[in-house]
Amino acid sequence: MDTTWLEDFLALAEHGGFSRAAESRSVSQPSFSRRIKSLEDWVGAPLIDRRTHRIGLTAAGESFRLSAEETLRRLQLGRAAALAADKTDHETLRFASTHVLSLTFFPRWLRRLEVEKPVGATIALTADHMVACERRMIEGKAQFLLCHHHEAAPTRFGADFRSVQLGHDRLLPVAAPSLLKKCDPADAPQLAFTAESGMGRILASAWERENRTRAAQPIFSSHLASVLTAMARDGRGVAWTALSLVQEDLAEGRLERAGSESEDVVIEIRLWRPRARQSPAAEAFWSRILEDRRAAGG
């Protein structure tokens, strides 16, 4: 069934004659009549009462008229909504970010950009663990990925992706002061990252490159650095976490280093994107980031 038939049918019902209805639809009368007949064949019942000089609708036609009007109205509304959604999608910057950076880095970074110049697009941010973030990028559900990076740690991104460095962070071991008073960090319970964690991946790769022995079997694991940090704050064990996440805890004495600074793993904060061209808003944003990096000497 062609929706044009519905428009023809409603025009015929309005004008009351094939000639005027065909003229209003900018089609020849024979073609118009064939389309009305095709609609009647599809419905399975006569819609037009052709027995009078002024064309009228049969009972089936009157009933179908309501359905035709409602169908066309819904199609128009659906089309308008689809166009609006497409426009919004093209003007939305879709970010994926690991949990820590969504809390510690992204808000300040975006605020600094907007102070200099409005971004000019809607921002949509999805925070998740690294494996899920990589999957969103590969599946095209995000235009940009903000994450920690270390050259020793592999990613799922090949030549089809590119990135720019935005800053630095550190991974360091921390524990509650009460725990460190009772035992040596090496003998304390260990709180560890699961395999889904980008930080866990970085730590494992960095330690392997340095031929460093991994910590003892952990008593607790999570893909969230914020959860491990909370457990450490509660005196449950030693956790490796991001400096950006625990700076205030260290400054206010809720946590202490559980190792020397020489053990820290220096990591980058990177913004990834596909190499393929994206929406105009995304390309404009990326150009701005590159200009910002050049101006900063990066």
Render pLDDT for 227-246 as a digit per residue (tens, 0 to 9): 999 999 999 999 999 999 99
pLDDT at 215: 66
Determine the average pLDDT of the residues in 109-118: 86
- What does the chain look like in DSSP terms, one character per residue? --HHHHHHHHHHHHHSSHHHHHHHTTS-HHHHHHHHHHHHHHHTS--EETTSSS-EE-HHHHHHHHHHHHHHHHHHHHHHHHHHHHHHHHTEEEEEEEHHHHHHTHHHHHHHHHHHS---SEEEEEEE-HHHHHHHHHTTS-SEEEEEE-TTS--S--TTEEEEEEEEEEEEEEE-HHHHHHS-GGGS-EEEE-TT-HHHHHHHHHHHHTTPPPPPPPSEEES-HHHHHHHHHTTS-EEEEEHHHHHHHHHTTS-EESS-GGG-EEEEEEEEEESS---HHHHHHHHHHHHHHHHTT-
Query: pLDDT category, 14, cuts 50, 70, 90?
Result: confident
What pLDDT is recorded for position 90? 67
Q: Which has the higher per-residue pLDDT, 156 or 31?
A: 31
Which fold would CATH assign to domain 3-87? Answer: Arc Repressor Mutant, subunit A (1.10.10)
Residue 247 has pLDDT above 80, yes or no: yes
Is the model more confident about 123 or about 87?
Answer: 123
Q: Is the pTM of this model over 0.85?
A: no
Span 9-28, average pLDDT: 89
Question: According to the model, what pLDDT value does residue 46 have?
Answer: 93
Where are the domains positioned within the chain?
A: 3-87, 92-295
Task: Give the strand pairing for 144-149 and 122-128.
Answer: unpaired
Query: Of the given ranges (50-54, 162-166, 198-202, 255-259), which has the lowest mean pLDDT?
Result: 50-54
| Predicted local distance difference test score (pLDDT) of residue 76 | 84
User: Among 146, 102, 92, which residue's Cα sits nearest to residue 123?
Assistant: 92
pLDDT > 90? residue 211: no
Model confidence over 64-108: pLDDT tens digits? Answer: 998 988 888 888 878 877 777 776 666 889 999 999 999 999 999
Under CATH, which number does the domain 92-295 receive? 3.40.190.290
pLDDT beyond 90 at 196: no
